[in-house]
Amino acid sequence: MKQSLNTMRTVVEDPDHAIVMPDATRLSARLWRPDDANDDPVPLILEFLPYRKRDGTCARDALTHPYFAAHGYACARVDMRGNGDSEGLMEDEYSAQELDDAVEVIKWAAAQPWCNGRVGMMGISWGGFNSLQVAALAPDALKAIITLCSTVDRYADDIHYKGGCLLNENLGWGATMWSYSSRAPDPALRADWREMWLDRLKNEPFLPSLWLRHQRRDAYWQHGSVCEDFGAIKAKVLAVGGWGDSYKNAVPQLVEALDGAKGIVGPWVHKYPHFAVPEPRIGFLQEALRWWDRWLKDIDTGVEDDPDYRAYLMDGLRPATWYTERPGRWIAEKRGASSHLPVQTLHLGTDGTLDDAPQAMTAQVASPAHCGAAAGEYCAIWLGPEMPGDQRGDDALSTTFTSAPLGADMDLVGAPRLTLTLACDKPQGQIAVRLNHVHPDGAASRITYGVLNLSHRNGPATPKGMTPDVAEEITLDLDHIAYRIPKGHRIRIAISTAYWPLLWPAPEAAQVTLSKGRIALPQRPKSRGDEVTFLPPEGAAPWETEKIRPESHVRRQETDMVTGIHSLVIEDDFGKSRDSDHGLIAGSIARERWDIHPDDPLSAHGYCVWEDEMERDDIRLRTRAECSMRSDATTFHLSAKIEAWENDKLVYSREENDAIPRDHM
């Protein structure tokens, strides 16, 4: 593997660089450049986000962008319009306006005297999404992107819907964005900060209502889904992901869809790989430099000769809600990702077996509404106890099929595919399928999973209810994974008709009858050790802060013995700190509660609240954004409230209520 050879350069930073859009809206950029870039122009690397560069993404920005700048790049961390220190209002995620603004920023950068005319774009999550989406617009100056923890299909693999089922993250993330986008700019940077803040508070949309008005994969979701036309992407793509993240599928999909694309998947949760957990971390910044140097500077760094797909094959471990490290090894596929790998097919049996021989079978699945308590967070990100725990409790509420002990280690690499012949006794129903690793003492670790709204069995654009008690064949792909099950351990398929609190429940408790089933398990010849290696992590100096309140994370399950309600309580205190450079004080606390009665799917209730603080000199600002959702058999009912205080005086309050018909959901 060739490494980039860069002479370190002195970096200058502008914390509030103005980039003015064609409609005169001023976007604020944090800009790092080599101090001699006017004499020796450099490429620009763009990260374009709503997450507030002044008090939101500071920790990761400090490690990353000065590092690139010292190696001969300009870096712009731009607040999207309506967020952080930028003017304007935000309409939605990945709006046409957002992508147009990004294209304008790229054009602006390419025309600067300190830029060599070439631009790269990068980002994780939102920034990974819009990097792909902007690449599909093919601005002339954009030559390469690095997309992390993203998706190619906004309907199938984002935080809104999965397998046609409504994810509760739709409400949870909506609450998060309401909080982020309604916060004030830093008063030190904007003389009109109060006017900007009140304008945001008055105009910020409650996005869960918008997202819930598109329960099918319609034109709304096609916009920004690059799988609609992979060929539109001309920039060179490096895709990165993590097995502990919710977005497990995009990396292999991009590797197999785009010529020249490369992919890396580690054991990580939703974080950049140079500081992610579980370890091992990698020298991500060095890998990124190899990518940028090749495509933005025409330096032969050998990236074209890298394997198409480098993935971390995790050793199967006992279940835990958090891991600091995952033992395993790095594997590599020279061409493609995993679609070419052979599969072993195992068949479901009437007596709960899972083996090589096809057989007639009958089994019923009828789970109580609270099944799914061990699912963990949909997207593990806050570094609390967010991972799937021991699956035995959920297995007891599911119908399971378990193999004999394995005669040899099994390396699963790819997306298992389950085919079932089933009937449902209600028109509307859902199934959740978990592929579990069963240890000799009975403990069960979730390897991967998939879910399906049965009304979406023939596609998400035109859902159709099941004909009660009429059997049909359905196919469900589970999420991609790379996982080793040891010799002597067993595999289990667990099928449930509920998966709370990950999924919003179907309107009626349903029973599913299985009459045939098989699963295709993609397998790779056993790797004896690392097939590729990475350099250890590097980074610039960490963000310096003064801690005022430490962070803490709570996940607590409760059962009300009087009412029978089962609850998940989440408390994420992100702490409070003062920036040691510019002095801004910021803090946040998020709380969620998810309630349901095992016998009543219509008892489901979700509640989310974010409280945010900002202090600058004698100015103290606070916002509280809360929302909740219930449903009856025909309608989703949402309520939301946002309040804002300046120096403990309430300066704004707004409530919203919405009723949205259920559409095969």
Across residues 440-463, what is the average pLDDT? 98
Has residue 537 been placed in a domain?
no
Q: Map residue 198 onto helix, strand or coil.
A: helix
Return d(Cα 133, Cα 326) in angstroms, integer. 32
Q: Map residue 590 onto helix, strand or coil.
A: strand
Q: Which of 91, 23, 15, 11 is nearest to 52 (CA)?
A: 15
| pLDDT digit string, tens, across residues 453-484 | 999 999 999 999 999 999 999 999 999 999 99
Answer whether 168's CB lies under 8 Å from 197's CB: no
The answer on 506 and 564 residing in a single domain is: no
DSSP 400-423: EEEPPPPSS-EEEEE--EEEEEEE
Answer whether 56's CB lies under 8 Å from 140's CB: no
Across residues 325-351, what is the average pLDDT? 97
Residue 3 has pLDDT above 80, yes or no: no
The answer on 606 and 513 residing in a single domain is: no
Q: Map residue 544 onto helix, strand or coil.
A: coil
Scored b (16 or more CB within 10 A) or e, 34-51 reads: beebeeebbbbbbbbbbb
Has residue 16 been placed in a domain?
no
The pLDDT value recorded for residue 21 is 98
Across residues 556-567, what is the average pLDDT? 97
Q: Which of 36, 39, 37, 56 is nearest to 47 (CA)?
A: 56
The answer on 466 and 560 residing in a single domain is: no
The pLDDT value recorded for residue 28 is 98
How many whole angstroms from its chain centre is CA 419? 27
Return d(Cα 68, Cα 293) in angstroms, integer. 11
Residue 1 has pLDDT above 70, yes or no: no
Q: What is the percent of the chain where pLDDT is above 90?
A: 97
Return d(Cα 62, Cα 70) in angstroms, integer. 12
CA dihedral 325, 326, 331, 337 (to 10 degrees): -100
Range of the domain at 620: 545-580+583-661
Cite the beta strand spans of 497-634 per DSSP E.
512-522, 545-549, 552-559, 566-579, 585-597, 600-616, 619-631
The answer on 550 and 518 residing in a single domain is: no
Has residue 605 been placed in a domain?
yes
The pLDDT value recorded for residue 436 is 98
**Chosen domain end from 522, 553, 570:** 522
**Chosen domain end from 522, 537, 563:** 522
The pLDDT value recorded for residue 6 is 65
Q: What is the percent of the chain where pLDDT is above 70?
A: 99
Has residue 4 been placed in a domain?
no
Has residue 426 been placed in a domain?
yes
The answer on 639 and 561 residing in a single domain is: yes
H helix and E strand count, the chain: 10, 32
Answer whether 334's CB lies under 8 Å from 307's CB: yes
The answer on 507 and 426 residing in a single domain is: yes
Return d(Cα 10, Cα 13) in angstroms, integer. 10
Name residue 413's amino acid: V
Has residue 102 been placed in a domain?
no
| pLDDT digit string, tens, across residues 373-425 | 999 999 988 777 899 999 999 999 999 999 999 999 999 999 999 999 999 99
Return d(Cα 42, Cα 105) in angstroms, integer. 16
Domains held by the chain: number: 2
Return d(Cα 31, Cα 22) in angstroms, integer. 20
The pLDDT value recorded for residue 350 is 86
Answer whether 318's CB lies under 8 Å from 391's CB: no
Has residue 245 been placed in a domain?
no
**What is the total residue count of the chain?**
665
Residue 197 has pLDDT above 60, yes or no: yes
Across residues 557-574, what is the average pLDDT? 96
Residue 4 has pLDDT above 60, yes or no: no
The answer on 460 and 575 residing in a single domain is: no
431 pLDDT tier (thresholds 50, 70, 90)? very high
Cis peptide before 278 (omega within 30 of 0): yes
The answer on 385 and 473 residing in a single domain is: yes
- Beta strands 115-124; 649-661: pairing state: unpaired
Find the largest Cα–Cα distance for the chain.
76
- Beta strands 343-348; 481-485: pairing state: unpaired
530 pLDDT tier (thresholds 50, 70, 90)? very high
The answer on 507 and 568 residing in a single domain is: no
- Beta strands 74-79; 26-34: pairing state: antiparallel
The answer on 509 and 450 residing in a single domain is: yes
Return d(Cα 495, Cα 592) in angstroms, integer. 27
Cite the beta strand spans of 24-73 per DSSP E.
26-34, 42-49
The answer on 373 and 511 residing in a single domain is: yes
The pLDDT value recorded for residue 384 is 77
* CATH number of the domain enclosing 359: 2.60.120.260
Residue 369 has pLDDT above 80, yes or no: yes
The answer on 485 and 422 residing in a single domain is: yes
How many other CB atoms sit within 10 Å of the CB of residue 278?
A: 23
Return d(Cα 329, Cα 597) in angstroms, integer. 43
Q: Tell me whether residue 235 is exposed, middle or buried, using C-beta atoms within 10 angstroms of its C-beta: 0 to 12, 13 to 18, 19 or more.
A: buried
Average of per-residue pLDDT values in the chain:
96
Q: What is the pTM of this model?
A: 0.97
| pLDDT digit string, tens, across residues 109-139 | 999 999 999 999 999 999 999 999 999 999 9
Residue 5 has pLDDT above 60, yes or no: no
Scored b (16 or more CB within 10 A) or e, 500-537 reads: bbbbbbbbebbebbbbbbbbbbbbbeebeeebeebeeb
Return d(Cα 344, Cα 356) in angstroms, integer. 8
| pLDDT digit string, tens, across residues 496-516 | 999 999 999 999 999 999 999
Return d(Cα 589, Cα 574) in angstroms, integer. 6
2 pLDDT tier (thresholds 50, 70, 90)? low
Instruction: Scan for tokens 């997202």, then name that residue.
Output: 211
| pLDDT digit string, tens, across residues 34-58 | 999 999 999 999 999 999 999 999 9
The pLDDT value recorded for residue 41 is 98
| pLDDT digit string, tens, across residues 588-632 | 999 999 999 999 999 999 999 999 999 999 999 999 999 999 999
Has residue 93 been placed in a domain?
no
Reported as type and span, the H/E element at residue 120 is strand 115-124
